[in-house]
Amino acid sequence: MTNTIFRLQSHKFSADSIQTTLVCSKCDEVFSKEFPLDLEGQTIEFKCPVCNSAGEADLPYKSAEEREELEEDIDEVEEEDGGEEFEDDY
């Protein structure tokens, strides 16, 4: 079990990742780390890049508003494409 907790200071969701700014509870250093979007809402274990202590951080979920915006964007793209699947005509 890990003693070090990485406190989430800020985060930003992109199309395929979660960009975070974290603070190490052992050395109090601030650092940035990017995680795959698939890890949203999970507790992740990794090492502090500054003091090399093993610890964990709770990654955030997208808010209901952010999810709604993403669904609207997907619907818009589908409407523009006519809802058709892409074909490989290379």
For the chain, the structural domain boundaries read 4-80
Could you report the per-residue pLDDT of 13-64, keeping only the tens digit for each? 887 899 999 999 999 999 999 999 899 999 999 999 999 999 999 999 887 7
Does the global pTM surpass 0.75? Answer: no
- CB 66, CB 72: distance < 8 Å: no
DSSP labels, 26-40: TT--EEEEEEEGGGT
Local confidence band at 85 (pLDDT 50, 70, 90 cut-offs): low
pLDDT at 81 over 80: no
Local confidence band at 5 (pLDDT 50, 70, 90 cut-offs): very high
- CB 26, CB 5: distance < 8 Å: no
